[in-house]
Chains A and B, each alone.
Chain A
């Protein structure tokens, strides 16, 4: 039997949907018994959310004041201690998981499979390389612990309705004081979360300015969509970094992705390959975005976007 430990991501109040996607990935391992570990200052509320994910057998709470913020240097030694009882340890391929999981792997002296996109066998997986321009099948040593980050765009979230047990665990692990949380700045928004939104409206360099970029917000709000941006738009300062979609930004899989004024560099396409439907609006009919778009419209976005917003009523 395989015992899979998933390191849950949360902000103390809400469990990140990436966790339920890791659960789906883990259920693809035959005979997997799945545990979600939650490290935090007070994980009581997120623990009940994790316990409701179908497929989860147990939830482990590791509450201590030092776990207030998800610092890899603080979390990794605790997760490595928890890992002793498991064959696999998974985390999401989000900035949280990508920061933390390799530190856990190295403390355990084992390798990590990054961006796991498909499970072929308990120790055989598929993952993308070269910005998704090649897919490799990799196999790890079954006698050693397997650490992986799960490419969340490749998996649907496991449904609710489960009833896992919840236990608190006290770990006798000494924690370093060399790393301290100072603060965070995030663009507060009432729009859906980009990573998990069903619809995304995304803008590129052709928007031309931060002021013009706001044009997309009206359309997004009409569609109930999250707003994304290409690297070019973020680099130019039109949109904040958390909106970036692509190889080095967020990899997303919405039902509908509307790319507006985005030419479609390989690195951007990597981030949207799993979208169900891609709609492209661009002045340049030769733009590479049209090669992958399900629906394309060539024209001036400054005329098209307001008209589209109007026709959507």
Chain B
């Protein structure tokens, strides 16, 4: 195995409490802290661990997004990716278009594995990896909690509703990762300095022959209905009383 491509999305940081714009046109993003999608960070960490176990494996971090997405790719380089590619665009790219873009990169890069997070925490779509595997005509192993690589194959344990499932896929393959696969490393200052010297190529959707169109129009964004805060009870006896009155027990 020679190369792992890791797809990374720039998203609103996990700890930010998002707010819907009063006019319903979207969520407020001005001045909000942006980060690497946490699931993608786990995907990158796994690629780096495989690289550190083996030899001569190149880890390429790729992303699609605005010019500032370079910040997230620099983070990926600081974590240990060898180089990065940004497909720069100001257009919000939908999952199918993202998959087509990653396929165009895969055709240039010929990776043995493509890792992605199982979903991005902004649109929660959970589609891009599966779509990429489909149009690449390669296997997919989603929601990975364990990945073992052997000659030309990967054995992947998946977190599914019933528990854990293991499948075997031939390489090249697409793997999307779940929370418990690993705990990503912290970036150290010297690594951030080193990352500045690592190659970061910027290309465009045009250069890759990708056309963007709106497949799914967003008409309106609203805050969710709020649950009303209920009553506090003072002890277990009162709790049981209330539940009985509500007909729940």
Q: Which residues of A contact B (CB under 8 A)?
A: 71-73, 76, 94-96, 98-107, 109-115, 124, 128-141, 176, 178-187, 195, 199, 223, 231, 234-235, 240-242, 247-248, 250, 255-256, 266, 273, 277-279, 290-299, 304, 307-308, 311-312
Residues of A within 8 A of B236 (CB): 297, 304, 307-308, 311
Is B188 part of the binding interface, using a Cβ–Cβ cutoff of 8 Å?
no
A12 CB to nearest B CB, Å: 13
Residue of A141, A183, A240, A308 near B215 (CB, 8 A) is: A141
**Majority SS at the chain A contact face:** mixed
Residues of A within 8 A of B141 (CB): 179
**Majority SS at the chain B contact face:** mixed
Q: Are B123 and A124 within 8 A (Cβ)?
A: no
Residues of A within 8 A of B155 (CB): 182
Q: Are B130 and A106 within 8 A (Cβ)?
A: yes
Residues of B within 8 A of A131 (CB): 121, 124
- The size bracket of the interface on B is 35 or more
Residues of A within 8 A of B170 (CB): 178-179
A197 CB to nearest B CB, Å: 13
**Bound CA–CA A242/B143 (angstroms):** 12
**Bound CA–CA A312/B243 (angstroms):** 11
Residue of B20, B128, B219, B227 near A278 (CB, 8 A) is: B227
Q: Are B167 and A248 within 8 A (Cβ)?
A: no
Q: Which 9 residue pairs across A and B have the least CB separation, nearest first?
A: A186-B163, A294-B230, A106-B131, A102-B130, A106-B134, A111-B215, A102-B127, A182-B166, A95-B160
Residues of A within 8 A of B18 (CB): 130, 133-134
Q: Are B216 and A72 within 8 A (Cβ)?
A: no
Residue of B131, B162, B229 near A242 (CB, 8 A) is: B162
A304 CB to nearest B CB, Å: 6
Residues of B within 8 A of A307 (CB): 236
Q: Are B160 and A96 within 8 A (Cβ)?
A: yes
Closest to B128 in A: A102
**Bound CA–CA A205/B6 (angstroms):** 32
Is B237 part of the binding interface, using a Cβ–Cβ cutoff of 8 Å?
yes
7 extra interface residue pairs, beta carbon distance < 8 Å, beyond A130-B121, A295-B239: A73-B140, A112-B127, A128-B124, A131-B124, A180-B167, A294-B227, A295-B231
